[in-house]
Amino acid sequence: MKGRLSGPRRSATATIKAETTSPAPFAHSVILGIDPSLRGTGFGVIRLDKPHPVALAFGTIICPKAWLLSRCLLRISTELQEVIREHRPTACAVEGLFFAQNLRTALIMGEARGASLVAAAAGGMEIFEISPRKMKLAMVGYGGAQKSAVSQMVRRMLHLVDLPAPDAADALALALTLAQETGRHSIAAPKQL
């Protein structure tokens, strides 16, 4: 290992790594993935196990259209806190915003993210942001992959009997991507939130 880091170029790389990632090595075995959305927040908890990772819980937090904004946000935060209390994840992967049609959409997306992040931070987790493109690349090998391809791969990797619903599948895929990215000691480490 020493030899691999001895060249000047490698040293520079190592320095960048130290600044952009968490100083401690990634030592998380239970990871929560969140795909925040006002009406349907996906969540998924995985445990890194041998011979393959295991899904401990996953689902979608549905908030009916008739509900007021604040009621939805409280539900998102409360349900996530419940999941965290039950499964005790120590790391969290949240989907990064890749596209918003307009300021109004970005604001609502931000509100759902804010409610989710409050729950994750209250649980004392290390929180990382992963873009949908990065997640799809890690899962399917193609950044523009369709949702169904992600769901299929999630089912295969976690040995699930049924295909998970799209939002829950995305959340599980975010958790799997975080484990994969940090396990690889990738230089392009996920951004910490």
- Binding site residues, a copy of itself, CB under 8 A: 68-71, 73-74, 77-78, 97, 100, 103, 106-115, 117-118, 120-122, 127, 192-193
Between 127 and 130, whose beta carbon lies closer to a copy of itself? 127
Catalytic annotation, pick one of 79, 95, 126, 181: 95
95 part of the active site = yes
Between 5 and 122, whose beta carbon lies closer to a copy of itself? 122
167 part of the active site = yes
What dihedral do alpha carbons 20, 91, 139, 149 form, nearest 10°? Answer: -130
From CA 193, how far away is CA 187, in angstroms rounded?
17
* Burial tier of 193 (Cβ tally within 10 Å: 0-12, 13-18, 19+): middle
162 part of the active site = no
Between 74 and 157, whose beta carbon lies closer to a copy of itself? 74
Catalytic annotation, pick one of 79, 126, 129, 167: 167
Q: Are 94 and 53 in contact (CB under 8 A)?
A: no
From CA 185, how far away is CA 58, in angstroms rounded?
27
Minimum Å gap between C-beta 133 and a copy of itself is 16
* Phi, psi (rounded to 5 degrees) for 88: 50, 50
Catalytic residues: 35, 95, 167
